[in-house]
Amino acid sequence: MGFGGGASSTLWNSMHHKHHAAPQKINYDIDLDTIPFVAFFEGAFENSNRINFSSTKKIVEKIARVWMRIQAWVFLPITNGILVHFFWTYYLHPQRAIRNMQKQMNYWTISEVGSIAASHTIIPLLFYMKNANDLGIIYCYILLMICNAFNFMYLFGHFSLSHTFTEVTPDNVTLKWFEYSIQHSVNISTTSPLVSWIMGYLNFQIEHHLFPSMPQYKNALAAKKVKEFCKKWSLAYNEVDYWTAWKKMFKNLDDTGKHYYTNGFNADKPSSSSAVTNNNDEPEPNSVSEEDDELEYDKLKLD
């Protein structure tokens, strides 16, 4: 990951584990902490301490409102292809890797920093050496940046299809682990070999969250058992086709952007009543108790 993507695997694992622990939960899911680049839900700005419009100039708020209005249109080419690309590649991941090495210098921290540095030197150098008579080294590095831009658009665009248009859970509401995985994830065209190939089997996102350490290609084997589990306990098993997922993702971005463009950034924070499920201690009809939860999970495990 360090050499091929110029990223810190340590930081990626930390962020991704937080996402898996509570997907779509405000102030817990790191994938919702995207302000000011993008807002995936109404309340994103109000639940973020990153920017306070009450202490900024009016022009800053006006620019932010316009950015929100067009966020669906710029999400792939600008937000992911340029802003997230540059922020991750040239600041967030390198500085975290260097900081880890300064705290504890060992083989792993040194190799991570070295791998990230190599991705910025060896890869463009390979292009340069192969085409030394035609391409300059700076031109070769620009080619790498362009490739990375498309890589970010492809990866983060597809990552956004599986969660971002589902309901969020307020930070004062706690769900069972499988409720986060099932109710806040969406499967996409799981019967299509082409979509499975394009998304690396992450189109089985529900199974991926239930069994995160299982090889991706086995998600298809788990899907049948998970569907039976959901049917038994009257849980919604959400699946849409590939193009519908894109439409829902962009519509959510557009609706959220229109909300902030029209109403500004002073709305109240979402209350616990907006949660998809309640937080009662006693299980309601058709809900799963903790004991049943453990028993059913054992049954779901694959050999």
Q: What tens digit of pLDDT does each residue of 73-92 get?
A: 999 999 999 999 999 999 99
Which of 132, 159, 186 terminates a domain? The answer is 159
Query: Residue 168 and residue 40: Cα distance in Å, rounded?
Result: 9
Q: Please indicate, yes or no, whether residues 7 and 93 belong to a single structural domain of this protein.
A: yes
Tens of each residue's pLDDT in the chain, 303 residues: 778 888 888 888 889 899 999 999 999 999 999 988 999 999 999 888 777 777 677 888 899 999 999 999 999 999 999 999 999 999 999 999 999 999 998 988 999 999 999 999 888 888 776 655 566 788 888 888 999 999 999 999 999 999 999 999 999 998 888 899 999 999 999 999 999 999 999 999 999 999 998 999 999 999 999 999 999 999 999 999 999 999 999 999 999 999 999 998 875 444 444 443 333 343 333 444 445 544 454 555 544
| Structural contact between residues 199 and 188, judged by C-beta atoms closer than 8 angstroms | yes
Integer angstrom CA distances of residue 218 from 17, 178, 226, 240:
20, 18, 13, 20
Q: Please indicate, yes or no, whether residues 19 and 125 belong to a single structural domain of this protein.
A: yes
Q: Please indicate, yes or no, whether residues 122 and 256 belong to a single structural domain of this protein.
A: no
Query: Residue 48 and residue 27: Cα distance in Å, rounded?
Result: 8
In a domain, 40, yes or no: yes
Q: Please indicate, yes or no, whether residues 80 and 44 belong to a single structural domain of this protein.
A: yes
Integer angstrom CA distances of residue 213 from 21, 162, 224:
13, 18, 18
Per-residue model confidence as pLDDT tens digits over 213-258: 899 999 999 999 999 999 999 999 999 999 999 999 999 999 999 9
Which of 91, 125, 159 terminates a domain? The answer is 159
Q: Please indicate, yes or no, whether residues 133 and 184 belong to a single structural domain of this protein.
A: no
C-alpha of 11 from chain center: 14
For 3, phi and psi rounded to 5 degrees? -75, -45
In a domain, 206, yes or no: yes
Q: Please indicate, yes or no, whether residues 89 and 142 belong to a single structural domain of this protein.
A: yes
Q: Please indicate, yes or no, whether residues 147 and 194 belong to a single structural domain of this protein.
A: no
What does DSSP assign to residue 54? G
Q: Please indicate, yes or no, whether residues 130 and 66 belong to a single structural domain of this protein.
A: yes
| Structural contact between residues 29 and 22, judged by C-beta atoms closer than 8 angstroms | yes
| Structural contact between residues 276 and 173, judged by C-beta atoms closer than 8 angstroms | no
Q: Please indicate, yes or no, whether residues 151 and 186 belong to a single structural domain of this protein.
A: no
Number of domains observed in the structure of the chain: 2
Nearest to 255 by CA among 42, 78, 48: 42
Integer angstrom CA distances of residue 282 from 227, 278, 290:
24, 10, 10
| Structural contact between residues 3 and 14, judged by C-beta atoms closer than 8 angstroms | no
- Where in the sequence is the domain holding 264, given as residue range(s)? 177-300
Q: Please indicate, yes or no, whether residues 181 and 90 belong to a single structural domain of this protein.
A: no
In a domain, 166, yes or no: no
